[in-house]
């Protein structure tokens, strides 16, 4: 996958569709990616909440490798940086959006080989 075109509307959503990852993972990531792509001034708390919700779900639903943990942490950190910039009185949302989307792209690539956790399988949510 190439770096995201952060200027194209819903570019990351299109990458997520083409990423060939299990539907459960796509469902977890979709709100986070949407928020990172579209959030504007004053939406920092929502970006943070979506990032934390998604990372908690990924940790609960997947058997994580060290590379996956690193990618999850990096994407969450970049999203929180975006959220902070959107919460500032003089918010300029363009500079940190690209790092957040790039970190999410790396997370998508890393999660391609993810396996469901035992609890996920026991709920019938495995793949």
Residue 9: is its pLDDT beyond 70?
no
* pTM of the shown model: 0.85
Q: What value does the mean pLDDT of the chain take?
A: 88
Choice among 15-29, 55-69, 106-120 with the minimum mean pLDDT: 15-29
Tell me the CB-side half-sphere exposure of residue 125, using CA atoms within 13 A: 17
Whether residue 69 contacts residue 58, with contact meaning beta carbons closer than 8 Å, is answered with no
Residue 120: is its pLDDT beyond 60?
yes
Percent of the chain with pLDDT strictly greater than 70: 87
Beta strands 115-116; 62-63: pairing state: antiparallel
**Residues 56-100: pLDDT tens digits?**
999 999 999 999 999 999 999 999 999 998 888 666 645 578 899
Q: Among the residues of 5-43, which ranges form H helices?
A: 11-18, 23-38
In whole angstroms, what is the distance from residue 62 CA to residue 99 CA? 24
């Amino acid at each position: 996958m190439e770096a995201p075109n952060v200027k194209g509307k819903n570019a990351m959503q299109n990458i997520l569709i083409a990423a060939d990852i299990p539907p459960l993972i796509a469902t977890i990531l979709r709100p986070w990616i949407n928020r990172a792509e579209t959030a504007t001034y004053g939406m920092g708390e929502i970006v943070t909440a979506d990032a934390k919700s998604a990372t908690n779900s990924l940790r609960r639903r997947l058997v994580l490798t060290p590379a996956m943990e690193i990618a999850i942490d990096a994407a969450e950190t970049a999203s929180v940086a975006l959220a902070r910039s959107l919460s500032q009185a003089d918010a300029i949302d363009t500079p940190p959006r690209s790092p957040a989307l790039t970190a999410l792209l790396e997370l998508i690539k890393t999660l391609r080989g993810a396996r469901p956790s035992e609890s996920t399988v026991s709920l019938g949510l495995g793949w």
